Amino acid sequence: MEDRQNPKEFKIEIALDDEIAQGVYSNLALINHNENEFIIDFIFVQPQQPKARVRSRVITSPKHIKRFAIALNENIAKYEARFGTIEIGNPSHDPANYQ
């Protein structure tokens, strides 16, 4: 009889191209959504510059973004337990306030 409590596990092999492995730096993210998807634009704002460029865009489902938010919060808690509280700083110096 098949055990429905423990579905068969499978492994996913993840490939990381050299260009993607370099990553991109972002100091601002804009998040938009509709009923079916969330769109996150990762942006780099240079100090004293009137223009900023989107470095990467991620489009994902509502279920995945919620799992991502849970995982991100868990990892922030682990980071702070190891290295101390992450201070956000003065909101007036936040790149999100540049307009």
Q: Give me the DSSP letters along 36-88.
A: S-EEEEEEE--TT-S--EEEEEEEE-HHHHHHHHHHHHHHHHHHHHHH-----
Structure tokens at 53: 């460029």
Query: What average pLDDT score do residues 79-84 get?
Result: 98
User: Is there a contact between 37 and 66 (Cβ–Cβ < 8 Å)?
Assistant: no
pLDDT at 91: 61
Residue 17 has pLDDT above 50, yes or no: yes
pLDDT, tens only, 22-64: 999 999 999 999 999 999 999 999 988 889 999 999 999 999 9
- The tokens describing 33, both together, are 């959504």
Provide the mean pLDDT of the chain: 88
Name the token pair of 31: 């998040």
Helix (H, G, I), strand (E, B) or coil at 28: strand
Residue 9 is predicted with a pLDDT of 83
What's residue 10's pLDDT? 86
Per-domain residue ranges of the chain: 23-87
pTM: 0.74
